[in-house]
Amino acid sequence: MPMNYTIRQAADVTVLDLSGRLSLGEALAFGPGSAPVLHDLVREQVAEGHKNILLNLANVNYVDSSGLGEVVACMTSMRNQGGQLRICNVSVRVDDLLKITHLDKVLNFEKDEAAALEAFKRDQSKSVSAA
């Protein structure tokens, strides 16, 4: 099953609820339109002015190295645009993959959506008080 998604707002955070397989190979193998590419999806949200994006991986059942690459590309794009990207609800398997690849040190991920939304608030209050 290729990656599917829904988009919703939680205060000033755009939540992308992802499901299925997070793999760039799916879209490349089956051609354009067969599966959304996460980085394209995030770029569209940024272009619409959304600066805080949360990737909810609760229903993602598979992530491969190209999927991890997509997440890192999303994080880089967000930082370059002055935004933030966080990840929540990772499965044990994905958590292990993040630790093995040491991406747990690079990516911002939280246990659940509530913790992630709180982290966005905390980071915003830090940037406001620093200004």
Can you state the angle between helices 65-80 and 38-47, rounded to 10 degrees?
20
pLDDT, residue 123, reads 82
CB neighbours of residue 19 within 10 Å: 17
What's residue 87's pLDDT? Answer: 95
Mean pLDDT by 10 residues, the chain (131 residues): 88 94 66 63 93 95 86 91 94 89 90 95 72 53
CATH class of 4-130: alpha beta
- Domain locations along the chain: 4-130
pTM comes to: 0.87
Helices (H), the chain: 24-30, 38-47, 65-80, 92-100, 113-130
Q: What is the pLDDT of residue 62?
A: 86
Specify the pLDDT at position 108.
92
Name the β-bridge partners of 51.
none
The DSSP secondary structure of 118-130, one letter per residue, reads HHHHHHHHHHHHH
